[in-house]
Structure 1
């Protein structure tokens, strides 16, 4: 039985207890509103109480319950902080593993590439924008996913102050969106690093006409000696979420040793509001194995004495719109992949995209862009207009 707040100790059936908890978030079981939970198998209540978010997510994958608007369901659930009130005993072991073991070094560093990013380039091309950018778009003046992603790429390049002839290294380069944009628009040469074979193959083929080198490599091994000297600029977009709290300092040491003394780095990462938070067990098992979202304080600790924080920019609310756009693309393209991937995957991916959209809408998750320098920009760094 999970640990519950004193006022919520079980005295009736599992269904009654879950009903009372969900009522705090204005969610009803078998209600008529889009964010209400439609239950098909009463076993879901025991699983929710015994396994928390893991039981909730796996029950959805199995078809035990539905919800017309999962994003609205999770926005309400997280705003009411119900995830902090139901803490199954098995979560203690999950939290201990996260805190005691380095789950992102050695062979484990490659796990997320194989499990998530190597699902298939055709699949991601159907879900993403033409740039193949798999991170938060910048929607300040955009009204389409493509425009939001192009605005994000432009924002990164302007914050880095890219100039023709510079060398840019992209740690966690994905399918090469930033490198292609920077090379075409700003005349820079690029080195990209990824742990996904599918991403590396795609980027090399698609951008063969550009001064881009793509390496299938763990970022821990990056060194100026193998890069042909220090680089002028470094970007890392949507990769730091996989580094893990026990490797944050090592990641920043890579930036410090590979960056020219007058260089700049931009770190674009999802983050949590609480230092002591642990990865969601459902996301950890089914979507991003060994992921670990940082807190603001953990990033600050990691750069302490190594790098100067020139700027921190939060536009996490934009991830809601990005995820909803990906979900629309995914559902529209699903008939092409249904036979190959199956309905359980369909429900899993829908749950992933919409639960995350709800989390950003509830402001439980953030999106930060940090601008970092090795020694501080002489005279100060200025955020570009329009950012």
Structure 2
């Protein structure tokens, strides 16, 4: 722009208004209906003012606004759907846990209701009218049996509740499965004798050491032996064997009972599930056994026994190898035979 006002450019008709010919600081003005951003400075005897139309800025602003109008809702929709998906993924296991807890509570209530109903009926009959001494003895035996059933059920429920609440296990020790299997067979000797069962333990004499809490292994053995003795027919057989396979220790319990149908094997570890209608037990024993096996790094192997019944086998990583040494047996609180199915 010359001092007289003419503007040199592609548009020779453009004339800078007089009030802006001495402009110095940047500002936006209108020339011929077009917004122009101008700034000036003195150069020698003249004053130079340069400017640039804001059409590109306006165009960019319009493009940005259009993008916000078009893309904004889409982004909000994507964010909403993403949050909804994440929320469902977070809520799903919580809902599953809540549903399982409700089912667990309902099943526990049902299992407790049955023995309590028997006890209530026996006491009501006993109080209704005088009875003979033999009747009272039979009634008290029924009450005792149902009371033991309730106690075993409560103990199993408390064990599972404590494990579910903490997901921790007591201190693991190096335990010889063969030694503990021999102790368990000794405890169940009277049970087997009462049912005329042949109860044996087979051990190759090797060291079958695993890392696990002794009381948990003792409970596992109690569950497996109790089930085997319960379902084996009178005069049948139950065999416990302990062996080593490569770097794993294998515990196997075989019985001559009816076995486990293949259709039931996927559910036998469900809480309160019973594969048969045979009375006794609440369907928690194998749920506890499965919890022990999983928490100690074991693996199940369920199949058919050569004796015709069920084979319940568990393997663990082997910690020590070689011949078994004479070492003191681990101190455990023996599981009471029976009532753990």
* Range of TM-score over shorter length: under 0.3
Q: Which has the larger radius of gyration?
A: 2
Q: TM-score, normalised on structure 2?
A: 0.25
- Structure 1 or 2: larger strand share? 2
Q: TM-score, normalised on structure 1?
A: 0.23
The structure with higher relative contact order (CA 8 Å, sep 6+) is 1
